[in-house]
Amino acid sequence: MTDTDKNLFGYDKNPTNILPQKYTLDSKIKFRCHPGVSCFTACCGNIDIILTPFDILRLRKYLNLPASEFLLRFTTPIYIEKTDMPGVKIHLDENGRCPFVTDEGCTIYPERPSACRYYPVGMANFHEGGEEGVESERFFFLVKEAHCKGHEEDKEWTIREWRADQGVDLCDEMNKEWLELVMRRKSFGFQATLSEQAKKIFFMVSTDLDKFKEFIFNSSFLDTYEIEQATLDAIKEDDIALLKFSFKYLASSLFGTNDLKIREEKIKAKSAEMKEKRVEKEKEAIRTFEELKAERDRLQEKLEKQKKQ
Ligand code: SF4
Ligand code: SF4
């Protein structure tokens, strides 16, 4: 079986905290987190909170900051677990606490990151053999850590009710394509490394939609890709449309999918360039061969002369 997306949100750091039971949307759990629990905000420190592109977008809007400033002030660059794909996590303060936590709780609660919403219910997508077109098996699991007293509360929910309460369906929808890119990359392992240029592009597109928009409209991007006017209008005005478009661009540029159409003349120019390179390589190989042959002939001639003497 291949990896699951549970790794990304850090739940597998200590697998003994994961209950050995598969949950469905209708399974029931007892849990409640509120300011009255003795452990209130205990979980908001010493953790890796990886931010998805959707998390970054909603957080920086909530904080009314440009992406670049949000990234600088509140995040640390990382490599997403078990991949060479760069991303960001929340930068903890000098006490190892999340910068958004206070004694009263989370100051960004309405827009808190996906990882904080999922806790303590994780979701796994097992994809047998990683084969294309094979339906993956989705199930849920419960994380039960000793310090978390929420499990001792009486409130009962189905997983479905809990997820609706936490607003994770929207996160799932917005994170899905990006997570698929990460999982796809993970399945390659480290044998096929991403070029430095590809890593930079992945990082820029995944973290800073302002820069990505600039890249679309103020570079040779539109000379390369054929994008419908309606799509261009949408991504100019609507950040969610831009976010969704960014996933298509990443899939196409990193994995060669057909999500974006490359202009015919670019394909022709590229294949002409490749042909020119190939012809040049062939000429070079012939030159090298002839030089070696001439050298060998010279040596042979010399040897024959020596034999005759
Ligand atoms: S973002 Fe909010 S919920 Fe998440 S760790 Fe920080 S303070 Fe806690
Ligand atoms: S440790 Fe559990 S109950 Fe305590 S604040 Fe965190 S999620 Fe809520």
pLDDT over threshold 70, residue 303: yes
Return the residue whose CA atom lies nearest to atom 7 of ligand 2.
33
Pocket of ligand 1 contains residue 50 by CB under 6 Å? no
Q: Share the mean pLDDT of the chain.
A: 88
How high is the pLDDT of residue 123? 86
Closest CA to 250 of 179, 162, 190: 179
> Tell me, what DSSP letter sits at residue 143?
B
How confident is the model over 12-22, as a mean pLDDT?
Answer: 75
The answer to whether the CB of 153 falls within 8 A of the CB of 37 is yes
191 — pLDDT class (breaks 50, 70, 90) = low
Whole-number Å distance between alpha carbons of 157 and 134? 31
86-90/50-51 β-pairing: antiparallel
Q: Is residue 279 one of the residues assigned to a domain?
A: no
How high is the pLDDT of residue 22? 92
Q: Is residue 247 one of the residues assigned to a domain?
A: no
How high is the pLDDT of residue 1? 33
Q: Is residue 181 one of the residues assigned to a domain?
A: yes
pLDDT over threshold 90, residue 3: no
Over the range 251-263, which residues count as b (16 or more CB within 10 Å of their CB) and which as e? bbbbeeeeebeee
Q: What tens digit of pLDDT does each residue of 119-151 get? A: 999 888 766 545 555 566 789 999 999 999 999
pLDDT over threshold 60, residue 7: no
The answer to whether the CB of 49 falls within 8 A of the CB of 116 is yes
- φ, ψ of residue 167 to 5 degrees: the values are 70, 30
**Residue 22: Cβ within 10 Å count:** 14
Of 9-23, 257-271, 280-294, minimum mean pLDDT range: 9-23
Whole-number Å distance between alpha carbons of 126 and 271? 39
| C-alpha of residue 264 to centroid of ligand 1, in Å | 48
Q: Is residue 295 one of the residues assigned to a domain?
A: no
Pocket of ligand 1 contains residue 205 by CB under 6 Å? no
The answer to whether the CB of 53 falls within 8 A of the CB of 211 is no
| C-alpha of residue 44 to centroid of ligand 1, in Å | 5
The domain of 77 spans 6-188
Whole-number Å distance between alpha carbons of 15 and 7? 11
Q: Is residue 97 one of the residues assigned to a domain?
A: yes
Q: Is residue 256 one of the residues assigned to a domain?
A: no
Q: Indicate the residue type of 239.
A: D
15 — pLDDT class (breaks 50, 70, 90) = low
Whole-number Å distance between alpha carbons of 105 and 74? 18
Number of domains the chain is built from: 1
In the chain, the percentage of residues whose pLDDT exceeds 90 is 63
pLDDT over threshold 80, residue 300: yes
Q: What is the pTM of this model?
A: 0.82
Over the range 186-222, which residues count as b (16 or more CB within 10 Å of their CB) and which as e? beeeeeeebeeeebebbbbbbbbbeebbebbeeeeee
How high is the pLDDT of residue 19? 82
Coil vs helix vs strand at 52: coil
Pocket of ligand 1 contains residue 100 by CB under 6 Å? yes
Q: Which atom of ligand 2 is nearest to the CA of 149?
A: 3
Q: Is residue 282 one of the residues assigned to a domain?
A: no
In the chain, the percentage of residues whose pLDDT exceeds 70 is 90
pLDDT over threshold 80, residue 2: no
Spell out which residues line ligand 2, taking CB within 6 angstroms. 33, 37, 39-43, 119, 147-150
Q: Is residue 286 one of the residues assigned to a domain?
A: no
